[in-house]
């Protein structure tokens, strides 16, 4: 019997999710792989079973579909073997805010925000009850940079970071580790799916390099892992300034610059 916790990975059929599956399989963890493309999941699962001698379950699901999402929630809630959730599934954005169709906006928010939040909510009570486990949320540096122009996508990734920080404060005292991974541009299929030409984009990080760095952060129990950030102290300074700004807020008094000058 495998005493290591099973790992449920969303968006596992390719890219970041598939490499996470390979890496956790190599560590001896059983897996539950979730994605829309069942054929690719089955191919990956068969290879990982043969190579690593582990159990791999395939769960075909479109996380923007209410029924499919509920099925994955039930698996996370009910399967006591699952101790690690990798919230990787997501889609990108091509074009400006005014170019977005209503349906595309709904789908982007449903996958990048709603599904991630509900899956975290499905597993968290059980992890708290056992006093161990981990939730890993894949965000993006775009969530820190409205200057990049992907306003809706960036907003969803800002949500992922905020949620992860909030869950860390709430869950870490109860034994549950939460990690936000913020990749910079990484060579995955998300670019083509969102209508971008890979050949027109600048140099990108390879997926295996990204995931290996994220797993080093995971092993170190980092709250925020930014594999492309060369000087880690810059994040520390950024976070310190944010906390300092909050310390200056006085909710009972308007700042002097907003006083009526005519009074």
Active site residues: 153
| 93 contacts 100 by C-beta, under 8 angstroms | yes
Distance between CA 134 and CA 172 in Å, rounded? Answer: 9
β partners of residue 60: 35
| Rounded Cα distance, 181 and 134, in Å | 13
Beta bridge partners of 86: 9, 136
Cα distance between the two ends of the chain: 76
Are 86 and 7 in contact by the 8 Å Cβ rule? The answer is yes
Is 83 in a helix, a strand, or coil? strand
């Amino acid at each position: 019997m495998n005493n290591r916790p099973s790992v449920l990975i969303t968006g596992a059929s390719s890219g970041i999710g598939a490499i996470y599956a390979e890496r956790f399989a190599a560590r001896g963890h059983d897996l539950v792989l979730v994605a829309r493309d069942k054929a690719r999941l089955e191919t990956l699962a068969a290879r990982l079973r043969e190579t690593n001698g582990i159990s791999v379950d395939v769960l075909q699901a479109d996380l923007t579909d209410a029924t499919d999402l509920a099925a994955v929630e039930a698996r996370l809630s009910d399967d006591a073997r699952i101790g690690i959730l990798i919230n990787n599934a997501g889609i990108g954005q091509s074009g400006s805010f005014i170019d977005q169709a209503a349906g595309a906006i709904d789908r982007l928010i449903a996958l990048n925000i709603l599904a991630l939040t509900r899956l975290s909510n499905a597993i968290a009570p059980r992890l708290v009850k056992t006093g161990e486990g981990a939730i890993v949320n894949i965000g993006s540096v775009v969530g820190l940079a409205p200057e990049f122009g992907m306003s809706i996508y960036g907003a969803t990734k800002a949500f992922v970071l905020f949620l992860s920080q909030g869950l860390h404060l709430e869950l870490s005292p109860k034994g549950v580790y939460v990690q936000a991974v913020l990749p910079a541009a990484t060579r995955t299929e998300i670019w083509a799916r969102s209508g971008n030409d890979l050949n027109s984009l600048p140099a990108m990080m390879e997926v295996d390099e990204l995931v290996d760095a994220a797993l080093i952060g995971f092993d170190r129990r980092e709250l925020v892992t930014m594999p492309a950030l060369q000087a880690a102290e810059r994040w520390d300074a950024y976070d310190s300034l944010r906390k300092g700004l909050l310390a200056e807020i006085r909710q009972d008094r308007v700042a002097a610059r907003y006083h009526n000058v005519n009074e």
